Amino acid sequence: MSNLLNISSSPHVRSKTSTKSIMYDVLLALAPAALFGIFNFGIRALVLIVVCMVSCVLSEYIWQKAMGLPLTVSDGSAALTGLFLALNLSSKFPIWMAIIGSVFAIIIVKQLFGGLGQNFMNPALGARCFLMISFAGQMTSFAYDKAVGLKYLSGKQLDAISGATPLAMIKDGSMNLDWAQVLKMFLGTTGGTIGETSALCLLIGAAYLLIRKVISWRIPVCYLATFAVFYLIFGGHGFNLMYLAAEFCGGGLMLGAFFMATDYVTSPITPKGQIVFGILLGVLTGIFRIFGASAEGVSYAIIISNLMVPLIEKVTIPVPFGKEGIKDGK
Amino acid sequence: MNSCTERLKNGIITENPTFVMMLGMCPTLAVTSSAVNGLGMGLTTTAVLILSNVFISLLRKVIPDKVRIPAFIVIVATFVTLIQLLLQAYLPSLNKALGVYIPLIVVNCIILGRAEAYASKNPVLPSAFDGLGMGLGFTFGLTCIGICREILGAGAIFGHQFIPDDYHITFFVLAPGAFLVLSFLTAIQNKLKMPSATNVDNADSNIACGGNCASCVGNCSVANKGLVEAERAAEKAAAAKAKAEAAAKAKAAKEAKAKAEAEAKAKEAASDGKED
């Protein structure tokens, strides 16, 4: 009888979604961007990705073993953190620094606060900001001498390309932007971190996640829309869609909006809260990019908004069915 | 144990201001970017702490209870000014490195805390040793944090660099590194189980505050614990006395009533007798 009758409280709707399936979906969705990064920047990018993923998984394994916690390495969240971190690094980034960053992401940002589900900010972005503060020189040097695919696609025989990201060049005014340049930024044959250059590959991955319903549209759409409005008003270029498109395709905006900001643990669960979160992200990114000293501000915008999530959730708790119109305490 | 050595041990280990009581966090986080700064700040604070504790202890019977905090602050501020002038004269580089945090020693919670909790209630010698112990505990904490941050962030110990520039993690010289190093050292301290309120489960009389956070009244020294206990005992005794008095009064009233009744009866009986 007990096998036939299963009495339990709600929720009764079951789904095959699990932490593991979500993590592997996101890993799969990031594959195009990662592959393009390897194509663009050569074998060094692959080495960096492997090193980050392995050291993240290893540090999670060692921590959980040492602390006597249940092993959750196989759910793929540590591997995903490693991949995110690698995609946020320049392909020339020293290996040992990448290992320190991975250990920081897993041990300090994630495990010290209680592991998956308890971390208050995105571990990969926390580590990226840690590396940015610690090794500013290496983090912002985008020289890539073995940029195989880049040389092939740009049609030039270059031994080394060294220089700022397109976003930085737009900011300091050293680049005359045209639509051809914007197209290059959309395809990804520019300088930058491993995973951020190709908006096209990131959009393919994002479409996969949206179709699989792993992420909702609310955060990315509100984020991008708010940023667009903010940029058109304060950007200093007037109503210029070319500059807006360049801002969208350059830097980590696509990677941040679709993959980092939508992290389940560090984004609001309430629908209204997700909209507020997206707007906050857009405004902060706009402020950092337009008025900040650095050309990029996505990672700082996301971790600051991560810290606001408990507050956002507190004020956007949905009203239970049947309680509409009933005010608190009345 | 001798009360003076007990005070020293209490300040350095049992109630270490940095790792156990978490007092004086502002200078702790702000000036510990190198070991020398930590040591300098710690010793400066120690000097102020000893002098202010001695003077407050000397003046404890003179200072009126209602204005004791302003009085303490005036005393502390005097010594801080003295020390700052001395530093400016003899250690200008340290004075420059510590900057605004030297005048801010006036508002350091450790100094006012010790004045309020210990020096204002105890004789001069134990107060001096209390200041010395607390100051050395603070110096120890600041120097430890300073050493860790300097090694990781600047690859050096007390200014002697031994790690090449390329391997410095700048993060640890900046503010977030201070929080991180402080938390790790505190965690290690807790793990090593120096008995303190933070890692003892139930009331342990060896701990100054009694170790029971649930019933904590916010005081943190043995003397205060004794004081609070004595106060409670006195309250209890007073209550008991009042009760006894009330009972006695009631009894007396009853007796008086009974007597009056008896008298009335006797009178009645007498008047009855008269009528007869």
Q: Which of A109, A121, A128, A133 to mutate to test the interface with B (most CBs of B within 10 A)?
A: A133
Q: In this predicted model, what pLDDT tens digit does every residue of A308-319 receive, in sequence order?
A: 999 999 998 888
Chain A CB within 8 Å of residue B123 CB: no
Which pLDDT score is estimated for B266?
A: 75
- Among the ranges given (A133-147, A260-274, B211-225), the one the predictor scored with the smallest mean pLDDT: B211-225
Chain A CB within 8 Å of residue B176 CB: yes
Q: Determine the residue type at B260.
A: A
Statement: residue B232 has pLDDT above 80 = no
What is the pLDDT confidence band of residue B219, given thresholds at 50, 70 and 90? Answer: very low
Query: Distances from the Cα of B137 to the Cαs of B19, B46, B233, in angstroms?
Result: 9, 9, 33
ipTM of the complex: 0.79
Task: Please state, in angstroms and rounded to a whole number, the distance separating the CA atoms of residues A52 and B161.
Answer: 30
Query: Is the CB of B171 less than 8 angstroms away from the CB of A130?
Result: yes
Statement: residue A174 has pLDDT above 80 = no
Strand stretches in B122-184, DSSP E = 156-157, 160-161
Residue of B nearest to A137 (CA): B166
Question: If you average pLDDT over residues B212-224, what whole number do you get?
Answer: 54
Q: In this predicted model, what pLDDT tens digit does every residue of B250-262 receive, in sequence order?
A: 888 888 888 888 8
More confident residue, B230 or A134: A134
- Cβ neighbors of A224 (< 8 A, separation 6 or more) are A248, A253, A257, A282
Report the residue from A100, A108, A134 with minimal CB separation from B170: A134
Residue of A nearest to B153 (CA): A134
- By three-state DSSP, how is residue A161 classified? strand
Task: Please state, in angstroms and rounded to a whole number, the distance separating the CA atoms of residues A275 and A220.
Answer: 9
Query: Is the CB of B170 less than 8 angstroms away from the CB of A130?
Result: no
What is A175-234 written as a DSSP string? S---HHHHHHHHHT-SSS-TTTS-HHHHHHHHHHHHHTTSS-SHHHHHHHHHHHHHHHHH
Residue of A nearest to B172 (CA): A134
Statement: residue B10 has pLDDT above 90 = no
Chain B CB within 8 Å of residue A95 CB: no
* Cβ-Cβ contacts under 8 Å, A100 against chain B: 169
Task: Please state, in angstroms and rounded to a whole number, the distance separating the CA atoms of residues B62 and B60.
Answer: 6
Statement: residue B51 has pLDDT above 90 = yes
Chain A CB within 8 Å of residue B174 CB: yes
* Cβ-Cβ contacts under 8 Å, A108 against chain B: 180
Task: Please state, in angstroms and rounded to a whole number, the distance separating the CA atoms of residues A232 and A315.
Answer: 29
Question: If you average pLDDT over residues B227-248, what whole number do you get?
Answer: 83
Q: Which of B163, B170, B172, B173 to mutate to test the interface with A (most CBs of A within 10 A)?
A: B170
Residue in this structure with the two tokens 């190709």, named with its chain if needed: A198
Question: If you average pLDDT over residues B59-64, what whole number do you get?
Answer: 91
Residue of A nearest to B170 (CA): A134
**Cβ neighbours, 10 Å, residue B139:** 22
Of the candidates B2, B9, B222, B24, which has an alpha carbon nearest to the alpha carbon of residue B132? B9
Q: E strand or H helix at A150, and its extent? A: helix A148-154
Which pLDDT score is estimated for A330?
A: 43
In Å, how far is B28's CA from the nearest CA of chain A? 21
How far from chain centre, in Å, is Cα A254? Answer: 8
- By three-state DSSP, how is residue B161 classified? strand
pTM for the full predicted model: 0.77
Of the candidates A98, A126, A131, which has an alpha carbon nearest to the alpha carbon of residue A111? A126
Residue of A nearest to B181 (CA): A108
Of the candidates A97, A129, A126, A134, which has an alpha carbon nearest to the alpha carbon of residue A110? A126
Q: In this predicted model, what pLDDT tens digit does every residue of A119-154 receive, in sequence order?
A: 889 999 999 999 998 888 888 777 555 455 555 555
Q: Residue A12 is encoded by which pair of tokens?
A: 């009764």
Query: Distances from the Cα of A105 to the Cαs of A81, A205, A240, in angstroms?
Result: 8, 23, 38
Q: Residue B67 is encoded by which pair of tokens?
A: 């204005």
Chain B CB within 8 Å of residue A135 CB: yes
Chain A CB within 8 Å of residue B244 CB: no
